[in-house]
Amino acid sequence: MNEIAATTWWMQMTVPAGKGEAPQLPDGCMVMKAVKPIRAYYLYLYTSVGRPYQWYNRLMMPASELQQVLDTDNTDIWVLYYHGVPAGFVEFDISEQLDTEIVYFGLSCDFTGRKLGMPFLRWCIHSAWQRPINRLWLHTCNLDHPAALSLYQKAGFEIYDQDTIMQHTPDPEDDPYLLLPW
């Protein structure tokens, strides 16, 4: 198995960015909450965004465990639609009373480069601060989209920690994406 150096940046926002009004999304965009989505739909979103960036954690979870995460009231999933087509999603962990974590955020590869990322991120930030929280946080790494770190910084997140670890890259023959039905 090969290894690659993965640098992770832990980022946070302790004051809401921007004013109180909900940010405008580009024409043709709308965001809808996926209320307790079925595992197959969630994995479609997860893989359409994360496959190029080695997102494997949710693929490796037992089906019942992942469905449990999706069914809990502590998980909020919002889907960005562009002209009726899922273009990206955000997953919030709201299990902590005064913190919200952006667990996953991103656009499907077919929708990157269309100026949707920052408006959707601003929408997500505004949405997260509708709860009475003291901190909104996330992490990103050098394996994510090359613009991810700067996008989060432009949106108002600040780095509060970082580390580098050697991460295993899956053997192409054991690629969990090959197990998916699509």
The closest alpha carbon to 89, from 34, 35, 127, 170, belongs to 34
Q: Helices 63-71 and 39-50 meet at what angle, rounded to 10? A: 90
**Has residue 42 got a pLDDT over 90?**
yes
Q: What is the pLDDT of residue 175?
A: 65
Percent of the chain whose pLDDT exceeds 70: 91
pLDDT tens-digit map of 68-84: 999 999 999 999 999 99
pLDDT score, position 143: 87
| pLDDT at residue 153, rounded to an integer | 97
Q: How confident is the model at residue 180 (pLDDT cuts 50, 70, 90)?
A: low
**Which is higher by pLDDT, 3 or 161?**
161
* pLDDT tens-digit series, residues 111-168: 999 999 999 999 999 999 999 999 999 999 998 999 999 999 999 999 999 999 887 7
Domains of the chain with CATH codes: 19-169 (3.40.630.30)
**For 164, phi and psi rounded to 5 degrees?**
-130, 130
Confidence at residue 172, expressed as pLDDT on a 0 to 100 scale? 57
Using pLDDT thresholds of 50, 70 and 90, give the confidence band for residue 44.
Answer: very high
Distance CA 161, CA 10 (A): 5
User: Where is pLDDT greater, at 118 or 53?
Assistant: 118
Burial (CB < 10 A; 0-12, 13-18, 19+), residue 166, is: exposed
Q: How confident is the prediction for the chain on average, in pLDDT?
A: 91
